[in-house]
Structure 1
Amino acid sequence: MATIRDIARVTGVSCTTVSNVIHGKDNRVSADTIDKINAAIKELGYVPNMSARSLVSNSSKVIGFVNHVITRKGSNFMEDPFHSASIGAIEQELREKGYYLMLRTIETSEELLTFLRNWNVDGLFFTGIFKDHFFDVLSNLNIPIVLIDSYTNQNSLCNVGLEDFRGSYNITRYLIEHGHKRIAFASPDIKDGGVLQERFLGYKSALTEFNIPFDKSLVFVQEMDIASCRLASRDIASHPDITAVVATADVMAAGIMTGLREIGKRIPDNISIVGFDDISLCQMITPPLTTVHQDINLKGKLAVNLMLQLLEGKQATERQLILPTTLVERESVRSLLP
């Protein structure tokens, strides 16, 4: 990793001048010099060396939460109650340990490096991480990092995840065992190596086990905002042979249910639907949603525990923590069996 000394050597100025520009104390530095230093910072990929920080001294007590789940323009990452609950669980646990949480959505590796140059964070949580250039950059950062729901399979980094495949397999099997064979799958865009792909593969695996051919025309890809869910519901309703829907998130299931009701479909009388995550919304909608439960509070607690171990300079006892899922049966599924 580049250092202040490297930047000073490349630009021909003193380390003190470089440090002043990095920390915003540049009122006595010329504009040309500032531009030259900033160009060198970008070219060399400089980020502060934070490995020497301790919990006793020179610690900001601030942990960053970087969201790399990029939604379409106009969408809001925090509109999904699952993300709100997940971040809230981490914030509560950190607060009890005397830390603060800073939330930021970051699209590119350049934005990530800029963020780290401007904010004195002790560690970073990441969500929405795939095996790409962004991951290559973050994996080389000299700072404690804990990934949330990552399938990058990088054992050198800590990760807290979930039985996504198993949970989706189990709830699809539940539908099949209740007599459903034409089962739709509704999801946002499915990327290779991510949570949604694991849930998709679990769905397909259950179909295969029961000798039900996979039909790609029964896969409906939309975002999770209400307008997109309405579109998905109309697409699903245009296939009268569909008797059930597996949604990759509770909020998407709820949105599709709303859209189906708007066009006169009754749940579960006309069509059954299941979700994933078991957020509080599941018990507020009508009918209450059958879904896959994950312990969001436990996930937050485990993520924070891993972070604290790294901040204290300890080797994490377990770097890959995978939480189980359970099926929660409510009232959104109708049995088609005689």
Structure 2
Amino acid sequence: MGRKKDIVTIRDIAKEANVSVTTVSNVIHRNYGRVSQETINRIEKIIKEKQYIPNMSARSLVNNSSKIIGVINNLIPEINSSFIQDPFHSAFIGGIEKEFSKSEYFTMIRTVMDKQELVALLKNWNLDGIILTGVFDDEFYHTLKMSEIPVVLIDSYIKDEEILSVGLEDFNGGYIATKYLIENGHKNILFASPKIKANGVVEERLKGYKKALCEAGLLFNKNNVYEYEKAITIDECIKLGRKLSERRDITAIFATADIMAVGIMSGLQEMGVRIPDDISIIGFDDLDISRITSPRLTTIHQDAEKKGLIAAKMMIAYLKEHNVKSKKVILPVHLVERESVRKIL
């Protein structure tokens, strides 16, 4: 067997560059204040040639920084599906990873059920920051805030001017979707969603739905709001579609997530309901799956990957400079017309 290649250390780099270990460390950590450009170039060239990889554990001990950012979902088991399996969150996490891969930060993905799990996580891991989804103004959030760890909230309507957040035009999305159905002649429109929590994303989309009905002179009917209490999975949404096939009085459905819309479509079609001839349907998110349904799904577009990119950039800017240009970013939405909505003459 061949001899194992020796591991290059920071001392090896310092010896070849004829500088101190401290100088090499400053270059690695980009502390260039007392290092000449010529020395920086020489050290970086040697690092590249020798394929030196910094020891992250050692660096975290020296700097009291792990370079690990937790991407955490406050999972509510009765209404949420798997965080990772959800295609929206997969795209969102992809955006975070894309941004962190260009920096010195790493991602740790976790789901936590309650305050106790959060406390255990914070005790066991030296996280530099947290990007958090699925959180409301409750005990869980206040426990997190007391930890004083930098946080970026995703899709949260918590009113806290000091917290960094990235959100969406949820109200406008609900309004655009419903208005589009009304403009196509639909008057009895069902609103299908996960559990509606106060001051949450789904509630905002419901408010947009109500506004579009009101502007068109259509009465809001609470029986047309189908709030699904179980976990939002494809199988459960197919079951929901089968059940909704019994609602022969409606002509259209606004589902507040593409994953719901696709499942409902499948369940309706199993029961012989033709889309869009019998019932039209519109989704929300514009995930890849919306382009491979039959018919292809009309939906409200949001850029999940961009949401992740912005959240990661926010976190990096705050950790490095303790300041960001804007603490709250709201991303736009727009309608994507495909074939799942019929115009009623």
TM bucket, shorter chain: 0.7 to 0.9
1:189-230 per-residue CA deviation (whole Å, 9 max, x = no partner) reads 000011111111111111111111111111112242133213
Q: 1:309 to 1:74 in 2, by over 3 A?
A: closer
Q: How does 1:288-327 map onto structure 2 within 5 Å?
A: 288-327=296-335
Give the direction of change, closer, same or farther, for the CA distance of 1:276–1:55 in structure 2 (3 Å limit): farther
Separation in 2 of the partners of 1:303 and 1:147? 8
How far apart, CA to CA, are the structure 1 residues paired with 2:118 and 2:205? 29
- Residue 324 of structure 2 aligns to which amino acid in structure 1? A
Which residue in 2 is equivalent to 1:57?
63
**CA–CA separation in structure 2 for the residues paired with 1:54 and 1:211:** 61
Distance in 1 between residues matched to 2:165 and 2:267, nearest whole Å? 36
Counterpart check, 1:205 vs 2:211:
yes
Distance in structure 2 (CA, Å) of the matches to 1:254 and 1:143 = 38
Q: Does 1:225 align with 2:225?
A: no
2:146 partner SS = coil
Matches of 2:310 and 2:234, distance apart in 1: 32
Q: Report the equivalent of 1:166.
A: 172
Could you tell me which amino acid in structure 2 is paired with residue 173 of structure 1? K
How much does 1:170 deviate? 0.5
The answer as to whether partners of 2:79 and 2:194 remain within 8 angstroms in 1 is: no
Q: What is residue 87 of structure 1 aligned with on the other side?
A: 93
User: Displacement of 1:149 after TM fit?
Assistant: 0.7
Cα deviations by residue, 1:217-274 (Å, 9 ceiling, x for unpaired): 1111224213321332233222211000000100100000000010011111111000
Unaligned runs of 5+ in 1: 1-52
**CA-atom RMSD in angstroms:** 1.9
- Matches of 1:103 and 1:178, distance apart in 2: 42
1:318 partner letter? S
How far, CA to CA, are the matches of 2:232 and 2:117 in structure 1? 26
Matched with 2:146 is 140
TM-score (norm 2): 0.79
1:67 to 70, 73, 77: 73
How many residue pairs are counted as aligned between the two chains? Answer: 285
In our comparison, the structure showing a higher alpha carbon Rg is: 2
Q: Match for 2:186 among 180, 184, 187?
A: 180
Q: Does the alignment pair 1:273 with 2:281?
A: yes
Deviation at 1:169, TM superposition (A): 0.3
Tell me, in whole angstroms, the C-alpha distance in 2 between the residues paired with 1:237 and 1:126.
Answer: 37
Matched, 1:242 2:245: no
Find out whether 1:190 has 2:213 as its counterpart.
no
Q: Is the contact made by 1:184 and 1:236 (CA closer than 8 Å) also made in structure 2? A: no
Amino acid at match of 2:105: Y
Which amino acid in structure 1 is aligned with residue 305 of structure 2? N
Question: Is residue 54–residue 311 contact of structure 1 (8 Å, CA) maintained in 2?
Answer: no
Measure the CA separation in 2 of the matches of 1:55 and 1:233: 54
User: Does structure 1 residue 264 correspond to structure 2 residue 298?
Assistant: no
CA distance in 2, matches of 1:239, 1:281: 25
In structure 2, relative to structure 1, the CA distance for the partners of 1:169 and 1:318 (3 Å cut) is same
Question: CA-to-partner distance for each residue in 1:15-58, whole Å, 9 max, x for gaps?
Answer: xxxxxxxxxxxxxxxxxxxxxxxxxxxxxxxxxxxxxx999933
- Given the two structures, how large is their TM-score scaled by the length of structure 1? 0.81
Q: Which residue of 1 aligns with 2:137?
A: 131
